[in-house]
Structure 1
Amino acid sequence: MKKYVILTGFALVLASCGTQKAVPVAAAEKAPEAKTAVELTPELAEGKNLYENSCAKCHKLYEPVKFSKEEWAPILVRMQKKAKLDDVKMASITNYIHSQL
């Protein structure tokens, strides 16, 4: 009998780990709304190209919407130095990221 109680408890623990948890209503309300894709101008396309090719050399790329403009500012400054990008290229990358927010 004791084995059945232990096995039942173990099965319940495993089952609870495998179930999908519901998202609380408050968290769902805070989720960002789906933004329509911004059409990339040639300048923004160049910024995207620079972002994808310069930044991906050293690390995985983050979606621009992962951070706010305020959070991106110090990241971009720090990465400009490490990637050895001039101000014109960095401005292009920054404009692309801001256009996606």
Structure 2
Amino acid sequence: MKKSIAIGLLGIAAFAVSCGPKSMAVTGPKFSSAEHLAQGKTVFENSCNRCHKLPDPAKHDNQGWIKTLSRMAPKAKLTDEQHQMVYDYLISVNKK
């Protein structure tokens, strides 16, 4: 009896995970046009500033921003494209 309940719960959990959002992780720069970088700046300023002070783009190197944005983009409810544009904006102004 316990085994069948455990299997049923495992099946439900697997189904829930498979139906979750399919997010494409940012792995490096994609957009370089001035228009996309300006959009990234706007999204960064408007979305991130809702919850906390805007961080200095020099706070992280490119890999650091990948890690930070991977945590923060879902909290800010950014689309994959917005996530990418914010990343590209930050690394474009980052001097590291």
- What is the TM-score of this pair, normalised by structure 1? 0.58
Residues in 2 aligned to 1:45 and 1:75: alpha-carbon distance in whole angstroms: 20
Gaps of 5+ in 2: 1-32
* Pairs within 5 Å for 1:30-69: 41-69=34-62
1:46 aligned counterpart, secondary structure: helix
| Matching residue of 1:75 | 68
Gaps of 5+ in 1: 1-39
Percent sequence identity over matched residues? Answer: 40
Aligned pairs, how many? 62
Is 1:89 aligned with 2:70?
A: no
Query: Which protein has the larger Cα radius of gyration, Structure 1 or Structure 2?
Result: 1
Residues in 2 aligned to 1:96 and 1:67: alpha-carbon distance in whole angstroms: 13
Report the CA distance between 1:89 and its aligned residue: 0.7
Report the CA distance between 1:71 and its aligned residue: 1.2
Report the CA distance between 1:73 and its aligned residue: 1.2
Residues in 2 aligned to 1:84 and 1:46: alpha-carbon distance in whole angstroms: 16
Residues in 2 aligned to 1:78 and 1:63: alpha-carbon distance in whole angstroms: 17
* Root-mean-square deviation (Å): 1.2
Residues in 1 aligned to 2:87 and 2:65: alpha-carbon distance in whole angstroms: 9
Residues in 2 aligned to 1:94 and 1:66: alpha-carbon distance in whole angstroms: 13
